[in-house]
Amino acid sequence: MRETLKRSRYLIQETVDHLEWDEFVRQHPQKNIFQTPQMYDVYQRTKNYEPIKLFAIEQKTHLLCGVLSAVMMREVGGPLGMFATHSVVQGGPLATEDTDGLVLPLLMAEHDRRIKRKALYSEIRNMHNVNQTLENVKHYEYEDHLNFLIRLDQSEDELWKQIHRARRKNINRAIRQGVEIEEIHDKRLLEVFYGLLRETYASVGIPLAHTTLFEAAFDTLYPVDMAKFLLAKHNGKHIGARVVLLFNGAVYDWYAGASQQSLDLYPNDLLVWHVLRWGAKNGYKQFDFGGAGKPDVEYGPREFKRRFGGSLVNYGRHVRVYAPTKIAIAKVGLKFYQKLYSSSKMKTRLCM
């Protein structure tokens, strides 16, 4: 049964025509793949993910004027699962310019009402400068969070010149040593792809999404040119993996991994360069590096990303904590769990 919440002149509801939803996002100035119905469908098919979709409808005109697509993630299994669930609103919510001051708070209020007893906290992961448009959203606090954006509407020579000299050397070394890039067209290769991601994530102690996330993305996004799965190969062995998302002229870096025994072949460097060249050649306008951490916290991938050039931006995140006591318990419990099962190298992303 559809649950509809009446607020002033707007209805907040769970359903809308998929084509209308898709068109709303594509026409929005802050359009991004994470607010699309296609991405919602991917999350819906992913184990340990619970997606949420909300829409604002103007009562008199019945026009769609706001979209919120979020996903609750349970990133750690077992006894710590209840302490590792949070909600992410990536690149949203979105509303028409003339209604955002009213509609965005309504969408977030309904989102919070639905998940506050299930999640420890919620993040709005901004992909544009939205501080002014979110100023009426209550209970959320802004946190700095960096990212790198690279213009793709330039020549290959210009892209190459903006890459740091040491990074260019690594790319050339990879090419000289015979590393090749291939696109995944056969779903059976996702097992190899996921194995490389899992090796990388385990090496740094970060939980990796379930393999069903990538299977769903391959089934849903790849056939409509909204995702590209890549592998780096050397002497017949796959040594690197990367998946990027594609939407309305933008390329989004999503997940990456590499064999820890093959890092001296620089598969990561070559994979990024391959994506940049491909994006520029095929008319894409921007490469989004998918985040570079908090400015005051050491984050290894930031330096890797910085050396590809591009613009450093700080659109930040807006965070609301629902259960501060549970988060404190989770931090203590997690340390004990890591000592007890240190071989698994599992960590949560609790960074409150």
Does the pLDDT at position 351 exceed 50? no
In a domain, 135, yes or no: yes
Helices (H) and strands (E) in the chain, counts: 10, 16
| Per-residue pLDDT at 132 | 85
Does the pLDDT at position 77 exceed 80? no
In a domain, 350, yes or no: no
E strand map for 64-205: 64-74, 85-90, 94-95, 121-125, 141-143, 147-151, 180-183
- In the chain, the percentage of residues whose pLDDT exceeds 70 is 89
Residues 288, 279: contact at Cβ < 8 Å? no
Are 98 and 83 contained in the same domain?
Answer: yes
In a domain, 150, yes or no: no
CATH code of residue 273: 3.40.630.30
| Per-residue pLDDT at 80 | 62
CA of residue 321 relative to chain centroid, distance: 20
SS3 236: coil
Measure the CA–CA gap between 276 and 157, rounded to whole angstroms: 11
Q: Which domain holds residue 213?
A: 156-312
| Per-residue pLDDT at 350 | 33
pTM (predicted TM-score): 0.90
Are 339 and 290 contained in the same domain?
Answer: no
Are 252 and 277 contained in the same domain?
Answer: yes
Q: Which of 8, 32, 6, 55 is nearest to 249 (CA)?
A: 32
Residues 252, 33: contact at Cβ < 8 Å? yes
Does the pLDDT at position 5 exceed 70? no
SS3 155: coil
**What is the tens place of the pLDDT at every residue in 137-196?**
999 999 999 999 999 999 999 999 999 999 999 999 999 999 999 999 999 999 999 999
CA of residue 131 relative to chain centroid, distance: 20
In a domain, 349, yes or no: no
**What is the tens place of the pLDDT at every residue in 251-268?**
999 999 999 999 999 999
pLDDT (average), residues 207-219: 98
- How many domains does the chain divide into? 2
Please name the helix (run of DSSP H) or strand (run of DSSP E) that holds residue 100, with its range, or none. Answer: helix 100-115
Residues 39, 216: contact at Cβ < 8 Å? no
Are 306 and 326 contained in the same domain?
Answer: no
Are 187 and 91 contained in the same domain?
Answer: no
**Which pLDDT band holds residue 332 (cuts at 50, 70, 90)?**
low
**What is the tens place of the pLDDT at every residue in 118-130?**
999 999 999 999 9
Does the pLDDT at position 75 exceed 60? yes
Are 278 and 324 contained in the same domain?
Answer: no
Residues 232, 267: contact at Cβ < 8 Å? yes
Are 134 and 206 contained in the same domain?
Answer: no
DSSP states along 13-29:
ES---HHHHHHHHHHST
**What is the tens place of the pLDDT at every residue in 269-309?**
999 999 999 999 999 999 999 999 999 998 889 999 999 99
**What is the tens place of the pLDDT at every residue in 91-100?**
999 999 998 8
Are 303 and 160 contained in the same domain?
Answer: yes
In a domain, 352, yes or no: no
Are 87 and 234 contained in the same domain?
Answer: no
In a domain, 86, yes or no: yes
Are 206 and 247 contained in the same domain?
Answer: yes
Are 271 and 195 contained in the same domain?
Answer: yes
pLDDT (average), residues 32-48: 98
Does the pLDDT at position 16 exceed 70? yes
| Per-residue pLDDT at 302 | 94
In a domain, 249, yes or no: yes
In a domain, 192, yes or no: yes
Measure the CA–CA gap between 119 and 30, rounded to whole angstroms: 27
Are 209 and 322 contained in the same domain?
Answer: no
